[in-house]
Amino acid sequence: MVVDWAVGDGTCVEAQNNMSSYACKSLNSTCKEPDNGYGYRCYCDEGFQGNPYLDGGCQDIDECLDPNNKCEKGCKNIPGNYTCTCPEGYNGDGLKNGRGCIRGESFIFKLVAGIALGFIVLLLGACWLYLELKRRKLITMKQKFFLQNGGLMLQEQLIRRDYSPDTMKIFTSAELKKATNNFHDDRIIGQGGFGTVYKGFLSDNRIVAIKKSKEVDPNQIEQFINEVIVLSQINHKNVVRLFGCCLETQVPLLVYEFINNGTLFEHINNETKAHALSWDKRLTIATEAAGVLAYLHSAASPPIIHRDVKSANILLDNNFTAKLSDFGASRLVPEDQTRLSTMVQGTFGYLDPEYMQTNQLTEKSDVYSYGVVLVELLTGKKALSYERPEKERNLASYFLSRLNQGRLYRVLEDNIVSEGNNEQLMAVAMLAKRCLYVRGEDRPSMKEVAMELEGLRLSKKHYSLQTQPNAEVMESLLFRPMNGFAKGEGNTIGTAGYNSMRDHIQLPMGGGR
């Protein structure tokens, strides 16, 4: 039999409402309710012992008298508990199962802590000073490059011409570093003789192509700034738009719109893409490229000679619209001059032979290079390739040789011949031949080329009487069997030492940059 008991039949809260009858009289007592019935019971608090039903009945227990307490050396009793202490000269928590009391650690600890704190403060100060000096040096360097690259001159011209930020923006180097992930190799979308092109994402979500030039002649900064101003104002659907530039770096950075369908070179020389590039598309691309070059030569003020016309510098958007790009080698033509004396620059396989010999740059130099692009569209071959036999390495020479032998069909691309546009192919081939004449004055202007190609697009039978052969000659040229190989007319040049990473030539022939 178990005897159980409780005080009253109410809860602790109810009992405490009537202190005269409340049974837990001791100050250090606690009221608890049993789990198996009504009423309540009184208990002494932890660390106290005695009778909780008497006033002052619960007395403090002196735990320090217990030899089994947790203190290693000193013990101090407090109401309901105790604390462990260490003698003077000792440091620690004083617990047997803790750090205990260790002699002299306090001084060493304070000394080490002080030295460590001083070192940390000194290190942080040195880092701050280094970063501040580096920041100031970077700012000074940016200002130096900005002035060196004609920043003040550009700002003055922008203010004088009242250009809006939408027309031409001067970007900071920080903006373009962020846009290209600090010019990471993964962002490279093109490399050539004049520089590297990176894909970038601006803060306004625009996707751009950022060109980092290899070098800029400091003696030609004024001309460079003028080119930037002029190119930023070219509003032509077949020219890659220039959004702005950055002059805070060692070489200026140019920011263009991003064209995402690759270059004409890639489409011509990739077997899969070439099959999708029908003759109609090729003729349209050729017409658009000729039209924009005619615009640069005739309508732009002042006129602009591109000087590096090639299939790799003709970009294509998703609709296969041609976009002329890479004006890094371009030159403005002064109003009182039709020829410019300048260092020979360009790409092997596209260089005007007259320009190389005379060092005189004219609009007809672009015409020759454009003629090579026409031949690429007709043949689907690279302008210069050392993988081909020696006589076929220079495409322009090989093409003219076959054309003059009446064996044009041998070099035309099979999939465009199969489309049955023989008359158009012959007309474009004859136009390419005229563009490739050795003497520049014998070549047509780009305006004439554009008009002739536009006429071919509008009508398959409407050609210029100057270039259209009769039906018998056309048939003979296209389909006469090949009996041998003869040399060309000598109106193109051969080149040597070609390398895809060094596909440009710069011959120091005096004058200009």
Largest CA distance in the chain: 136
| Domain-embedded: residue 512 | no
Statement to judge: residues 244 and 305 lie in one domain? no
Statement to judge: residues 244 and 290 lie in one domain? no
| Domain-embedded: residue 130 | no
Statement to judge: residues 230 and 97 lie in one domain? no
Statement to judge: residues 202 and 294 lie in one domain? no
Q: What letter does residue 24 receive in the DSSP assignment?
A: -
Statement to judge: residues 289 and 391 lie in one domain? yes
For 338-373, the pLDDT digits (tens) are 554 455 566 788 888 888 888 777 889 999 999 999
Instruction: Write a three-state SS string for 342-396.
Output: CCEEEECCCCCHHHHHHCEECHHHHHHHHHHHHHHHHHCCCCECCCCCHHHCEHH
The number of domains in the chain is 4
Q: Select the more confidently predicted residue: 249 or 477.
A: 249
For 37-88, the pLDDT digits (tens) are 789 999 999 999 999 999 989 999 998 998 888 898 889 999 989 999 988 8
Statement to judge: residues 375 and 280 lie in one domain? yes
Instruction: Give the phi and the psi of residue 199 in degrees, each rounded to 5.
Output: -90, 130
Statement to judge: residues 199 and 249 lie in one domain? yes
Query: Residue 99, SS3?
Result: coil
66 is catalytic: no
Is residue 180 exposed (0-12), middle (13-18) or buried (19+ Cβ within 10 Å)? Answer: buried
CATH of the domain at 208: 3.30.200.20
Statement to judge: residues 352 and 485 lie in one domain? yes
| Domain-embedded: residue 5 | no
Identify the domain containing residue 383 by its residue range.
264-507
Which pLDDT score is estimated for 493?
35
483-510 CB burial, b ≥16 within 10 A, e <16? eeeeebeebbbebeebeeeebbbeeebe
Say yes or no to pLDDT of 420 above 60.
Answer: yes
| Domain-embedded: residue 4 | no
Statement to judge: residues 268 and 300 lie in one domain? yes
Catalytic residue, chosen from 55, 185, 308, 352, is 308
CATH of the domain at 354: 1.10.510.10
Say yes or no to pLDDT of 445 above 70.
Answer: yes
Dihedral sign of CA atoms 354, 355, 361, 366 in order: positive
Report the distance separating Cα 139 and Cα 376, nearest Å: 48
Statement to judge: residues 321 and 441 lie in one domain? yes
Out of 257, 272, 295, a domain closes at 257
Statement to judge: residues 418 and 455 lie in one domain? yes
